[in-house]
Structure 1
Amino acid sequence: MMGDVSLLDEAMKEITRLKNDVAQLNTKLPEDFESDANIEDLQMLKTSISEELDAERHTLEEKQANLEKIVNALNKMQEQKNAYQDERIKLQEGQQSLVQLQERQTELKNLIESKTAEIKILKTKLPTLKQKLSSLLAEKNRLLDASRKRVAKMQTELNAFKKMDHEIQRLNTEVLEFQLLNLATEIDELKESIKKCKADVEAKAEEICKTSNELEVIKTVCLQQETLERDLKDNRELKKLQEKKKDIDTRVEALAKQLGKMDFPKLSQEKNALIKQREKGTERKGELLGKIGEVKSQVKKLECEINESKFKNSHENYRRAYYEVDTSRQLIKDLGESKISLEWSLMKFHAEKMEHINRLIREYWRLIYRGNDIDYIQIQADEVDMNANADRRRNYKYRVVQSKNSSEIDMRGRCSAGQRVLASLIIRMALAETFSSNCGVLALDEPTTNLDRNNILSLCEALNRIVDERRMQSNFMLIIITHDDDFISTLGKITTYHRVFRNDECKSVIRKVKVS
């Protein structure tokens, strides 16, 4: 009887625990709630509350959509305001530049007036400058001749000195040879002569440098005189051209008086236009004659080809080919229409499913997440344009975005490890809720990794809510794999769980454990 007694004790403990749970649940119920209501009434109450919750959720989504529209309109107005401000800044800059251009115009007018006055003064000084130029040119030629003569003379002396230097070097070698013969007196005399020659060479070299410097100075003076001569020549040519212009203006006026009321420019323009039209007509005539010859040759060639045996049944062949092409065209058209309708249906289905998934994700996030830095998350589907071909398959790039105060940013790289784990769980739960209509198994492996205590509690509440909603589903099963005993004990709907551990023989053992 000991086994029966132990089972009886466990049953009594279970009854007392269930009574305590019922008492706690009764304390959580509202005061006007009837505790003796049956399960059908509770189910009806649950359905009515869920309908009200759906209506409230629908109104919340409509308000959220209106809020998003208002925010988008506000952003557009802000962009328009920024554009108007940029345009105003550009107009202000244009106004400032206009003032600067006007000042620059006045400066240029003053500069033109000063330059015209300088030109008049230079014209008065032109005769004296011409005389001075001629005298300077004569002096320049004379200095050039003298400098050439001096340079030639210095060059001959330099050559002589070079020969002397060569001779000195030769003598120096001979002196070195004679030094071996102990000719001291002759060596001293030769050294003195060498010193004198070197002094003479240095003096001549200094004279050559002086003459070269004087020659450079003369060259610079000559260049200045040449530039002055070019300026004077240009002024003279300008004066001649101005006189020619006056003569031509007088001749034009005389010719205009002679022509009287005849519009000579207009007549010349009409003449030129008629000449161009005649040239174009001749060119067009030649082109058309060439085309006529080509067409005639092609007609002859086609007539010869038509008389061949392979073109006798051309009408029937054309009719058959036309029917085949028309049928293919209609088939292609029908296939294109069916493709467009299928693609539209797929896009509509994709949009509806994404809307349903994002609604569930937002609902679960607001239900589970206890932080205030993220309002909700959702999946953003962006179409990727792989190429410009119209027959390509549609590709979508999915990314998870987080929203705060109607501002959306990518969640990748901007969230903690716990937020990533929670987002992954919520997204998988939403996908399972959307696409697993025939499969009711929800498996979670280590769902509390990197989650804090508040988010673990909210996750427990969400799982309890899912269990309550799926309780009437026959094929529903919730599987949780975890190392967190507190998480298991926090789940109020779980009374027992299976613990897997290794025994002394290092074998895996599965044991059923009751939640205390």
Structure 2
Amino acid sequence: MSRIEKMSILGVRSFGIEDKDKQIITFFSPLTILVGPNGAGKTTIIECLKYICTGDFPPGTKGNTFVHDPKNRLKEIEQNLSKIMRLDNEIKALDSRKKQMEKDNSELEQKMEKVFQGTDEQLNDLYHNHQRTVREKERRLIDCQRELEKLNKESRLLNQEKSELLVEQGRLQLQADRHQEHIRARDSLIQSLATQLELDGFERGPFSERHIKNFHKLVRERQEKETEIANQMMNDFAEKETMKQKQIDEIRDKKTGLGRIIELKSEILSKKQNELRNVKYELQQLEGSSDRILELDQELSKAERELSKAEKNSNVEALKTEVISLQSEKADLDRTLRKLDQEMEQINHHTTTRTQMEMLTKDKSDKDEQIRKIKSRHSDELTSLLGYFPNKKQLEDWLHSKSKEINQTRDRLAKLNKELASAEQNKNHLNNELKRKEEQLSSYEDKLFDVCGSQDFESDLDRLKEEIEKSSKQRAMLAGATAVYSQFITQLTDENQSCCPVCQRVFQTEAELQEVISDLQSKLRLAPDKLKSTESELKKKEKRRDEMLGLVPMRQSIIDLKEKEIPELRNKLQNVNRDIQRLKNDIEEQETLLGTIMPEEESAKVCLTDVTIMERFQMELKDVERKIAQQAAKLQGLDLGRTVQQVNQEKQEKQHKLDTVSSKIELNRKLIQDQQEQIQHLKSTTNELKSEKLQISTNLQRRQQLEEQTVELSTEVQSLFREIKDAKEQLSPLETTLEKFQQEKEELINKKNASNKIAQDKTNDIKEKVKNIHGYMKDIENYIQDGKDDYKKQKENELNKVIAQLSECEKHKENINKEMGIMRQDIDTQKIQERWLQDNLTLRKRNEELKEVEEERKQHLKEMGQMQVLQMKNEHQKLEEKIDNIKRNHSLAIGRQKGYEEEIIHFKRELREPQFRDAEEKYREMMIVMRTTELVNKDLDIYYKTLDQAIMKFHSMKMEEINKIIRDLWRSTYRGQDIEYIEIRSDADENVSASDKRRNYNYRVVMLKGDTALDMRGRCSAGQKVLASLIIRLALAETFCLNCGILALDEPTTNLDRENIESLAHALVEIIKSRSQQRNFQLLVITHDEDFVELLGRSKYVEKFYRIKKNIDQCSEIVTCSVSSLGSYVH
């Protein structure tokens, strides 16, 4: 048994996502009402309930829009992300700039300003002297840095001390300013108080101690004098007030005495007036007593006449005698009826046998008819299937053979389906493999085209090798040209040679020589640039050659894919497609065969049931014939006198007579009772009239006494009126005098209070000012006693001293910083000089190495002159070609190896996949599962038939129960006259085949009026549709939701008129009343109709409801309200 206690909502649709927005709703039992406008969040509460109970999201949400949308939180993240990306770009730009600067610095460091012209020893001496100078300057710089750190530390200490002294100086200056303010405030208060008290000698300040003591003495004297005057004035006022109070008390005593007299006389007067009224009332009553006595005499004589007449007409004794006679007749009739019952019982004993005989004969004819109907129904069908009309055993044997044939066909069909699935899987695998190979071929061709730019890979590679060889020769030529041109220029300039170093031509003039030198120098200047560009171009070509050599295996793979692998896959795919088509044709043939056999088996199964019933009827028919023979033997030789009808007729006549006699007895008894009650009533009336007449006679004798009492009471009342009037006349002047004295007393008290207040205010003002003067004097004395002025001067001197020290320290730091700047500048200059010296040393070393290489070159050239250079070049070229061929074959082998390795990895990966791993074990398990499933299917078929019958019976029972609840709810709710009630009707789908195990029902709602039933679809109004929907939901919940008694109604009054809304509320209250005993019953109603809520609130089940609204942040809130507040709520 389940129920809902409370629920917390946070971050769902319009409900807020912060902790402060969390809403908690406690569900009442048995009724919880949610009220609110559209869009406030009422339905969201029901959707939350459904989600926590079932886990289902509302329709159309898919979990995306049900919870709070977090996209608004992404704006800040996107802003931060864009900022991070911008900073990342800036960092990359700075890194690039840094690398460029480092490169530029490296190039600059490699360049030299000039070359040292001295000897190596001079250069080394100069370098070592420079090193010593730099080390001395660095040591001096370190000393200066230490000294500067020491000064910085000292400066920090002085600044800290200065800050502390400045804080202390500010504090002391604030105290000094406050001290002066206290003195000025004290003097101002003294002047003000002296002016107020009219004291001389205190017009101007500042005041000394003597002046202040004298001032305090004068103020105390003046305070004592003012206090004495005020006390004397209060005593005078007190004496006057006492005298006035005494006069008031005397007047008040007189007034009180007169008032008491008036009060007593008024009470006596009131009593006498009441007595007078009572006496007059009694006299008034006695005035009509004489007439009443005459009326009573007439009524009494009339009642006595009626009493004597009733006693005379009474026949009670005769009626009693008749009752006794009738009772005797009734006893005789009872005895006769008992005899007739005994006779009837004897006749019925043999009548039962004849009745059984008739029933058995009828049963025999019925069974003959049933057997004939079954034979006529299935004769043609069974004869067409078997050639004759079989019995049960013959039909079961035929069904068994057909079932075996169907199973064999199904086995063949399953085997073909399995082969088809395997072929389809193989086809998919081949398609995927073909697609992968084609994509691989396309990818290889794209890569090859990106590198080569054309499809002629071999020719491009050969052409690139030739270009590389040419570029290599050109680079070697340019590298050697630099040295040759330099040597030629040196020879032409240094050795004063007048002939050309190459052709040995003699220059005729100096101009020709200079022209040759200039030409050589220009070529020498251009040689490095040409060499650099040639080397760059050579590197690019070599890189491209390496890339193309790396693509050689890929080129071979392309050829294999185009010529071998892809065509083979396509041939395999065509073969598989032919196998699939063949299998599909075989499957279609087996399905056709199965479709022919199965209907025959189904129709035979249907006939088997009727054949079984027919055989059972035949067995029962034999049993009935045997019973008929037994009953005929019992009735043989029996002769009866009267029939059952004759005995029954006589019994009815006697019973009618008995009823008539009983009615007469009851009637006579009622007449006897009525006559006795009438006589008793007349006697009682006569006695009452006699008693009233006696009472009136007694009252007439008291009349004279009452008249005398009236005269006496009237005299006393008039006397009391006069006495009260005299007392009131005496009381009036006393009240006037009392008011006058009280007013005078109040004026006197007001004057006293005013004078006392003035004196008290004046005294308090003087005391307050004196108190303030004492406070200021105390602060002034404390300041002077603490020596704050001397302490302030001392701190100011310390501050000036610290400032001077700090200034001197800053000057020293400035001098050291200047010296350090000069030294750093000198060190930087020395570093430039050091770099120049190091470059010169490196240059000397490189020149020496160059000379050594030049000598080795000359030696090698000399040795080369003795060798066969052309033969060695040819041999070298052949060896390079052989190396290239070996490299090419090696690359091809590596490419093919990688392809095979990839295929091996691919096949191993496929073998590790679930579909190939443990295939034999899975096949064995699936075979066991298949055989087990076949056995289970047979058992399930038997279970299905039994279950189907049970479900049909349960369905019909539940439909009757639901329709009964719907009929009761409709009649108690609907106020119209056009529909008596509605019900749900279910029609089984007749188009379902025999092999389909699912049973389908078509449900429809109909409305009934008399014997006419019409579908409600398209014929009812919107209000009737809503009411029908609610009633059907209530009926379904009543029937199927006993263990989960939670029912939610969302806007149940939509499209309903006021009369039906009232009846719906009444019906809901009745449902709650009937289901309130169920512990887990809870009804949730969502509505915006407050009148509907008020109707529900009239019951005892609703005291509070929840109002759903939105706050200022447009977040939904849940507020608990009382039902009594509905009338006062302002929307």
Q: Place the TM-score, normalised by the shorter chain, in its bin.
A: 0.3 to 0.5
TM-score when normalising by structure 1: 0.35
Q: Which has the higher helix share?
A: 2
> Which gives a bigger RCO, structure 1 or 2 (Cα 8 Å, sep 6+)?
2
